[in-house]
């Protein structure tokens, strides 16, 4: 059973770096969702594309707050100001805390450069190479309180080629990761599953 969505869903994107995933969402042109703001935990390069398109941006640095709980509360408020239907972590390199996860329960989506539950964490591509696997890939999943442990929404495999180093493999994963994020978000915003098993 599903719920049909007639109007574009409001999306706020969080990033920490160059913003190639965010740029893919901005360029997607899907009628099912609108990116209404882009935020970061630092003055990241990825905010530039959003600013060039006239989108609101915001920065909530961890260093500006006395502890992670205060930062998380501030981030939740910054997100809420844009009234998002979905919060997309697109290369956002901070763990979200209870304030954000409770405010947007079941509506925070992350991408990860591995086939979860294999290789969670910040060094997934390096870890896959070290393990000697022949296939890794990309995952789009809902965010929970764990480290890359939320329900998987979609995955796509990427072969590990002879002679691959971390940079080469990661670039190939990013290519499919961008497409996977756009198509998965489009599906969520068109017909949102009521239940998504891992």
Residues 33-88: tens digit of each pLDDT: 999 999 999 999 999 888 998 999 999 999 999 999 999 999 999 999 999 999 99
75/78 Cα distance (integer angstroms): 5
pLDDT of residue 60: 98
Residue tagged active-site, from 82, 112, 141, 170: 112
33/128 Cα distance (integer angstroms): 33
Residues 114-170: tens digit of each pLDDT: 999 999 999 999 999 999 999 999 999 999 999 999 999 999 999 999 999 999 999
Q: pTM score, two decimals?
A: 0.91
184/190 Cα distance (integer angstroms): 10
The structure tokens 């003055």 sit at 43
Of the chain, the percentage scoring pLDDT greater than 70 comes to: 93
Of 79, 96, 89, the closest CA to residue 139 belongs to 89
Q: Please give the backbone phi and psi of residue 190, each rounded to the nearest 5 degrees, phi first.
A: -90, -50
Task: Give me the chain's average pLDDT, please.
Answer: 92
Is 82 labeled as catalytic in the residue annotation? no
């Amino acid at each position: 059973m599903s719920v049909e969505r007639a109007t574009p869903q409001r999306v706020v994107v969080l990033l920490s770096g160059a913003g190639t995933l965010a740029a893919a969402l901005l360029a997607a042109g899907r009628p099912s969702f609108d990116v209404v703001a882009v935020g970061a935990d630092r003055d990241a390069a990825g905010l530039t594309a959003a600013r060039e398109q006239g989108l609101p941006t915001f920065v909530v640095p961890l260093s500006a707050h006395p502890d992670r709980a205060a930062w998380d509360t501030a981030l939740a408020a910054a997100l809420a100001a844009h009234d998002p239907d979905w919060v997309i972590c697109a290369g956002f390199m901070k763990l979200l805390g209870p304030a954000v996860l409770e405010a947007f329960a079941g509506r925070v989506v992350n991408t990860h450069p591995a086939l979860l539950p294999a290789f969670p964490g910040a060094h997934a591509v390096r870890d896959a190479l070290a393990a000697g696997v022949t296939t890794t890939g990309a995952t789009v999943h809902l965010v929970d309180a764990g480290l890359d442990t939320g329900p998987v929404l979609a995955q796509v495999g990427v072969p590990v080629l002879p002679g691959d180093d971390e940079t080469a493999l990661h670039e190939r994963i990013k290519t499919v990761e961008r497409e996977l994020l756009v198509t998965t978000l489009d599906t969520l915003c068109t017909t949102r599953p009521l239940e998504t098993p891992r």
